[in-house]
Structure 1
Amino acid sequence: MIADVDVVLPCLDEAEALPWVLERIPAGWRAIVVDNGSTDGSADIAHSLGATVVHEPRRGFGAACHAGLLASEAEFVCFCDCDASLDPGLLTGFVRRVEDGESDLVLGRRRPQGLRAWPPHARAANLALSVMLRRRTGLRLKDLGPMRAARRTELLALALTDRRSGYPLQMVVRASDAGLRVSEVDVPYLPRSGKSKVTGTWRGTWHAVRDMRRVLAQRPMDLVGGGVR
């Protein structure tokens, strides 16, 4: 088992799901729960279950993810939703692929387990974004899901700036611009616990697509010395 791994878990009112998620963090790994303004006691629950809790007052998925990345110290950093839709125990395979040099950034391709797991409008939006990503970078990915793993130093070198729903896409785009190898593996996608803040509603999905289209419209980053400026 790889011990030097931090798992970033962006969290907004996930008190119901946290015990399920945290008990599946691989032994020896550190869970970093980034509380993004929860009012249901999520931060206290996470702390009581042994997680490192980071408070990020700026609302936004990207803001929470990046606060977790900045708080990380391990060689490898993983990201996973905190709503019990994805099993963080599966991240061991992701990290192994990075450690063995098979890939630099590994994404989880969500495979819905039941009709409730992934609303049709969210799935359609993801497909459209995948096509646009292919045109922009040449990457033939099927999903832009939140479950992923990479080396911390390489993620920090990407100088990610999006603090909203475009954060996961910007990570992939800038990784591609930097010459990093991006791959994906299938993961079961379960019906989430509680109510979705993004893909569960048409409005949330529209805002996410808008954020991601802005990312795709950005010019490629200039590469300097193998990193990203």
Structure 2
Amino acid sequence: MIRSCELTVLMPCLNEARTVQACIADALKYLATAGVDGEVLVSDNGSTDGSVELAQAAGARVVHAPRRGYGAALQAGIHEAKGRFIIMGDADCSYDFSQLQAYVERLRAGAELVMGNRFRGGIEPGAMPFLHRYLGNPVLSFIGRLFFRTSIGDFHCGLRGFSRDAVLRLGLVSTGMEFASEMVAKFALAGARIEEVPTVLRPDRRDRPPHLRTWRDGWRHLRFLLLFCPRWLFLYPGLLLASVGMLGFLALQPLFGLAFSMGSRVHTLLYMAAAIVIGVQAVQLALLTKWLGVVSGIVPEPPWLMRTKPLRTVETGLLFGGVLFLIGVLWSIGILYGWGSSGFGALNPAEGMRVVIPAVTLMIVGMQAVAGALFAGSAEICWRTVDRKRNG
């Protein structure tokens, strides 16, 4: 039976021969000095430079992550960790593993996630590229705070501690650098107790470029933030556009007596129709994105989605969209009948378009709803099938 302990210091490793032993020595020094029952665990991600042998010689336990990627290495380490708490950090000497007491104290006091804050703790000269320090990290951290209603000041600090049981309940799936964002987002969505401690960032001591790629990994972080919380990118703008379009439709009706000529009224009506269509598309995309995230296990199912489960059927979507489409078709038939009753004579384009535009808009929105319902149903069936094959 594997003996458990209080703390696992976890270090993902990919060709860190130059620095891994120094990091392990610092971590072991902390455990001995603080009297903490713990271990140092290195999760190797396919090193070919002797990092594994050096880590074992320095006193660390080594596990091998079968899949490549920062997140994959950390997931393997988390599952193999013996500690009740885990503190993770890169094995490149950018963080001081001998200074972990603040993390341990917060975890012992009940925090489920303890984030380091490099902006409060200090960033030594040369430790963080200018673009990361003044654009990437501040922008992504601001987006994270906005999306997930948390006060975390440094979303991407690599030194962080957490409860092993709590993190396993989250069902983390990312294999790349975006794993860092997924962890914070899921803890926040779960309503976990999250705290921060000042952390010093030092220049790493590697003799090679870092694994992090500024634009590629920055986009992957942003993409996952948007997937976890699509309301700011799609839902809110979509609702605003659709609302403006609907209000515009009403305001442009003759009974409101607005000072528009018929020609200008029709052109404005066309733009209002475009606002409705684009707005509905954005709202639908937000809902589908959230739904796909829930079905795939990337994000937890929010309460509002649980409450609307009886309405979230393919049949409901087909009925709603079909009714809108049918209204638009019947309206169009009525327009055609009225034209026929007048002998199919010459039409006043402005007057004709005033009634045609709403009818066509209903047809477009109805067909969007039908297509969205079919897509959601197909995606769920496909994902459930893949999941059964994977687990069976």
TM-score normalised according to structure 2 size: 0.53
Structure showing the higher strand proportion among its residues = 1
Contact 1:178 1:223 (C-alpha < 8 Å) held by counterparts: no
The corresponding residue for 2:85 is 76
Higher alpha-carbon deviation: 120-129 or 210-219: 210-219
Q: Which residue of 1 aligns with 2:143?
A: 132
- Distance in structure 2 (CA, Å) of the matches to 1:112 and 1:17: 21
How far apart are residue 85 of structure 1 and its match? Answer: 0.5
* Unpaired runs of at least 5, structure 2: 228-289, 291-298, 304-392
CA distance in 2, matches of 1:52, 1:34: 9
Aligned length: 217
**Alignment partner of 1:40 out of 28, 42, 49:** 49
Task: Look up the SS of the partner of 2:152 in the other structure.
Answer: coil
Alpha carbons 1:6, 1:76 under 8 Å: kept: yes
The aligned residue for residue 227 of structure 1 is none
1:152 aligns with 2:149: no
Distance in 2 (CA, whole Å) between partners of 1:221 and 1:205 is 29
The residue type equivalent to 1:210 in the other structure is W
Structure 2 counterpart of 1:120 = 130
* Alpha-carbon distance between aligned partners in 2 of 1:132 and 1:122, rounded to the nearest angstrom: 15
Q: Contact 2:124–2:200 (CA<8 Å) still a contact in 1?
A: no
Question: Residue 105 in 1 paired to residue 113 in 2?
Answer: yes
> Which residue is equivalent to 1:66?
75
Aligned letter for 1:213?
L
Q: Which moved more, 1:156-165 or 1:26-35?
A: 26-35
Kindly indicate whether residue 192 of structure 2 is the aligned counterpart of residue 184 of structure 1: no
Matched, 1:197 2:199: no
Tell me, in whole angstroms, the C-alpha distance in 2 between the residues paired with 1:89 and 1:156.
26
- Give the match for residue 301 of structure 2: 222
Please say if residues 62 and 167 of structure 1, whose CA atoms lie closer than 8 Å, have aligned partners that are also in contact.
Answer: yes
Contact 1:75 1:153 in 2 (8 A): yes
Contact 2:10 2:43 in 1 (8 A): yes
Shift in alpha-carbon separation, 1:112–1:15, aligned structure 2, 3 A: farther
Q: Percent identity?
A: 32
Match 1:18 to one of 12, 17, 20:
20
Match of 2:173 among 145, 158, 161: 161
Answer 1 or 2: higher relative contact order, Cα 8 Å, separation at least 6. 1
Q: Give TM-score, length-normalised by structure 1.
A: 0.89
Q: Which of these two proteins has the greater Rg computed from alpha carbons?
A: 2
RMSD between aligned residues:
1.7
